[in-house]
Structure 1
Amino acid sequence: MRIFQSIKMALRSIKSNKLRSILTMLGIIIGVSSVIVLVSIAQGSATNVTNQINQLGTNLLTVNTFGTDLALTEDKIGDLSKLSGVKAIAPVISGRVNVKKDRTSSQVTLTGTTGAYSSVRDAKVSQGRFLTDLDIEYRQKIAVLGANTAATFFGTDNPVGQYIQVDGTSFKIVGVLASKGSSLGQSGDDVVIVPLSTGERLVKTTNINQVYIQGKSEQQMDLVMTEVEMKMASMFPNKSDSYTVTNQKDLMDTMSSVTQTMTMMLGGIAGISLLVGGIGIMNIMLVSVSERTREIGIRKAIGAKRRDVLLQFLIEAAVLSSMGGIIGILAGIGLGKIISTALSLTVTYSTSVILLAFIFSVIVGIVFGVFPANKASKLNPIQALRHA
């Protein structure tokens, strides 16, 4: 018997038992849609985390020291900047300050740094300009505001050229940062950035305990980290517990590993429902064999071979599972969009995951359809014809 004829007979059988066929496909539909939705949410979360880490800056190393005796002086920062793999370096001094404009007052994070901070931390300016070396050299009382800080004190007005009070001192605003949102629980928009020399006055300390280092290329980051660690070891001998060198790439690799594990776990949980759907197909196919015993007997009596009967029931199971898979894909994509809109989640669809879920659903249908199909093909024609 030709495959097309078997497919027609399978579709005819499914059409003649619409409700039973829908209930049979329901397990496959739920399984496929669950796989797509859960894996897409997990992949969306992974993409979101990756984007947040990238917002910290590209090819980034962070050096932190603890204690006043381990402060990074200008000479030591200069030595770090001369390392072969280092592209740029930005020392940072930070604290909390009281910012006031007219009647509006708020506690804001202050960052004192240099002009290199813009490229090292990928801090783009939406209005005005960023800090320059001259601003640091002449201890200028100027500030660059984060997006939220600018909105808090100036609303929709352009803050560039206007003044704010930082701990009672007047600062001229020269720029506004483009919004970066939250990154690993910290907002990059609630900030006031001032020249390093000016920031030291505001926080009343000249001790620099944090430096951001940008490598020349992503491929060299392990080498750059080794260079920085060796330099730090020579600067602060026998004090390795009093400073840290953090590689952004290591953080990203760790987060990727966690999200991949979560994706596999969610996909596995959703895959169980596909197996349950396969059991449903097997049950219904066994019922179908019992109902159509006489039909099978007639077909075998007029010359149908065992493989013809086996193929017919296998195709019927495959058609049921593939139809359920297609409906499941549509349901999964639609449900994912609804969840994304309703809960403001990032959902990332993967063609490979959708294709894999569909193929797996068809395989499940065929595997669980083998036993009923084999049972039907082994029926004795005479006994089958006697079946009432």
Structure 2
Amino acid sequence: MKTQLKENLKLALYSLKSNKLRSFLTILGIIIGVFSVVLLISIGEGAKNQTLQIIENLGSNTLIIFPSALETGGTFTSIQIQRTRRGIPQLFNYNDLLYLRALFKNELLVSSLISSYYNVYYQIFPLEATVHGTDNDGLLINRDSISEGRFFTSYEQNAKEKVCIVGPKVAKNIAINYKEAINKIIKIGDHNFRIIGVLKERGYNQSLGDLDSRIIIPLTTALMLKGDQILNFLIVQVRDSKNIEIYRQKLIFVLKQRRGKLNFVIAKQEDLLSAMNDILNILTLTLAGIAAISLIVGGIGIMNIMLVSVTERYKEIGIRKAIGAKKKDILIQFLTESGFLGMIGGTLGIGLSIITGEILSRFEVPYNLSYSTLILGFLFSLFIGLIFGVLPAMRAANLDPIQALRSE
């Protein structure tokens, strides 16, 4: 059995070598298909891990409050999908934040976050930095601390002062040390901001980006620059995670009274993890399904070329049958050749996806290539080769030896 398989592999390799260009064009579809499937699954898994890590970083004692256009019970599990009640969500505003902060003073930390896109300069030199608007509660929720300088004062927040707290990389780009960076003036958009603090180093986080290249401005100032008081979400941190469900129910009651209806969702960490996990799994499978279409196209290419190969090798098949080869022997030979084409295409596709993954990783694109994905890609390519080789193999196996010998 081993000898027969070895001989079949030798014949398959000889067939590939004798028609190198044709063989390459045949397996090109498999290469592209496997490359696409492995690449898209890996990107999907990378995005999934990154998103879930962001949520996990919130902590188990954190609640996120989202506005909703639908009537809900205030929780993820109680959302009632009402097709007749579509509309624009009633967004939160800064007064909602202040209301909750005053109501739950000394019990909860309440904040929000605004991410803005501004050009940032020190004197005439551009700085690579991201600008975020939040307040002291937001910094505490995000577990940020100060290396030099201080947090915002109440006056600075209430007066919408143009002050900022910068990450250590930003500070190093404008001064010899952190202390020298304090009171320096940087330009954010068209406005001059005075540095009052430098954050402690936290390094690069794959899910949150470069935490040392942030610039934090007061939330009130960010809203003033934005030109409205709208907040897309509220973030609440409970001091004791054991009481998180109690405070969620309190917040549901309070916000229903304030807004007049349950048009919001208060999500715990596990709610977000579960929902995002489901969504991202569907997205990954959808991407893989789309990419798999090119694998099927590659399989059709293998079937076509194997049918041509059967026609070209009538005499060879006739001779093998005349000297005693059985239908099973011919069938196995051609299936081995088609499977071999699929294996080579799969191997090259996997190699290409690994190289591409390394390149994407250098550009900080989320990418998670696992052994299971590689094995799946290889087995899928082999399976496609075998499945689409069945028809040509059966045609070859069923040839009449006399008719085959007469064909030339």
Same fold, judged at TM 0.5 (above): yes
1:69 and 1:346 map into 2 onto residues whose CA distance is: 35
1:323 and 1:352 map into 2 onto residues whose CA distance is: 19
What are the equivalent positions in structure 2 for 1:1-388 lying under 5 Å apart?
A: 2-56=4-58, 59-62=61-64, 71-72=98-99, 76-77=103-104, 81=107, 89-92=108-111, 111-113=134-136, 120-125=141-146, 127-128=147-148, 145-147=165-167, 151=171, 155-160=174-179, 162-163=182-183, 173=197, 176=200, 178=202, 189-192=214-217, 212-214=236-238, 224=244, 226-232=245-251, 238-239=257-258, 241=260, 246-247=266-267, 249=269, 250-341=271-362, 344-388=364-408
| Contact 2:40/2:291, CA 8 A, preserved across alignment | yes
Residue 359 of structure 1 and its aligned partner are, at CA, apart by 0.7
Over 3 Å counting, the alpha-carbon distance change for 1:171 and 1:265 in structure 2 is closer
The 3-state SS of whatever aligns with 2:266 is strand
The 3-state SS of whatever aligns with 2:144 is coil
Structure number with larger C-alpha Rg = 1
The 3-state SS of whatever aligns with 1:238 is helix
Over 3 Å counting, the alpha-carbon distance change for 1:295 and 1:49 in structure 2 is same
| Contact 1:313/1:372, CA 8 A, preserved across alignment | yes
1:120 and 1:255 map into 2 onto residues whose CA distance is: 21
Partner residue in 1 for 2:119: none
The 3-state SS of whatever aligns with 2:367 is coil
Residue 370 of structure 1 and its aligned partner are, at CA, apart by 0.5
The 3-state SS of whatever aligns with 1:239 is helix
| Contact 2:248/2:266, CA 8 A, preserved across alignment | no
- Amino acid of the residue matched to residue 190 of structure 1? I
Over 3 Å counting, the alpha-carbon distance change for 1:385 and 1:124 in structure 2 is farther
The 3-state SS of whatever aligns with 1:268 is helix
The 3-state SS of whatever aligns with 2:214 is coil
Partner residue in 1 for 2:71: none
Greater mean deviation of Cα atoms: 371-380 or 37-46: 37-46
Over 3 Å counting, the alpha-carbon distance change for 1:296 and 1:148 in structure 2 is same
Unaligned stretches of 5+ residues in structure 2: 67-91, 115-121, 125-130, 155-162, 186-190, 220-232
Over 3 Å counting, the alpha-carbon distance change for 1:129 and 1:353 in structure 2 is farther
- Amino acid of the residue matched to residue 215 of structure 2? D
Could you report, residue by residue, the CA deviation over 1:335-375 in whole angstroms, capped at 9, with x for unpaired residues?
3333554x652322122222111111110100000011011
2:371 and 2:169 map into 1 onto residues whose CA distance is: 41
| Contact 1:320/1:365, CA 8 A, preserved across alignment | yes
1:236 and 1:275 map into 2 onto residues whose CA distance is: 53
Greater mean deviation of Cα atoms: 64-73 or 2-11: 64-73
How many equivalent pairs are there?
344
Residue 66 of structure 1 and its aligned partner are, at CA, apart by 5.5
Residue 123 of structure 1 and its aligned partner are, at CA, apart by 2.0
- Amino acid of the residue matched to residue 237 of structure 2? I
Over 3 Å counting, the alpha-carbon distance change for 1:216 and 1:313 in structure 2 is farther
- Amino acid of the residue matched to residue 360 of structure 1? F
1:93 and 1:368 map into 2 onto residues whose CA distance is: 56
Partner residue in 1 for 2:82: none
1:279 and 1:74 map into 2 onto residues whose CA distance is: 64
Over 3 Å counting, the alpha-carbon distance change for 1:275 and 1:92 in structure 2 is closer
| Contact 1:278/1:368, CA 8 A, preserved across alignment | yes
| Contact 1:296/1:376, CA 8 A, preserved across alignment | yes
1:16 and 1:171 map into 2 onto residues whose CA distance is: 72
Residue 292 of structure 1 and its aligned partner are, at CA, apart by 1.0
1:60 and 1:255 map into 2 onto residues whose CA distance is: 16
Over 3 Å counting, the alpha-carbon distance change for 1:113 and 1:276 in structure 2 is same
The alignment's TM-score, normalised by the length of structure 1, stands at: 0.70
2:251 and 2:349 map into 1 onto residues whose CA distance is: 56
2:112 and 2:300 map into 1 onto residues whose CA distance is: 63
Unaligned stretches of 5+ residues in structure 1: 82-88, 96-101, 137-142, 195-208
Over 3 Å counting, the alpha-carbon distance change for 1:316 and 1:150 in structure 2 is closer
2:264 and 2:179 map into 1 onto residues whose CA distance is: 37
2:112 and 2:170 map into 1 onto residues whose CA distance is: 21
Over 3 Å counting, the alpha-carbon distance change for 1:336 and 1:229 in structure 2 is closer
Residue 146 of structure 1 and its aligned partner are, at CA, apart by 3.2
Could you report, residue by residue, the CA deviation over 1:231-283 in whole angstroms, capped at 9, with x for unpaired residues?
23565773354896632533444443333332222211111110011011111
Residue 92 of structure 1 and its aligned partner are, at CA, apart by 4.5
Over 3 Å counting, the alpha-carbon distance change for 1:183 and 1:251 in structure 2 is farther
1:330 and 1:11 map into 2 onto residues whose CA distance is: 20
| Contact 2:97/2:234, CA 8 A, preserved across alignment | no
Residue 27 of structure 1 and its aligned partner are, at CA, apart by 0.9
Identical-pair percentage: 35
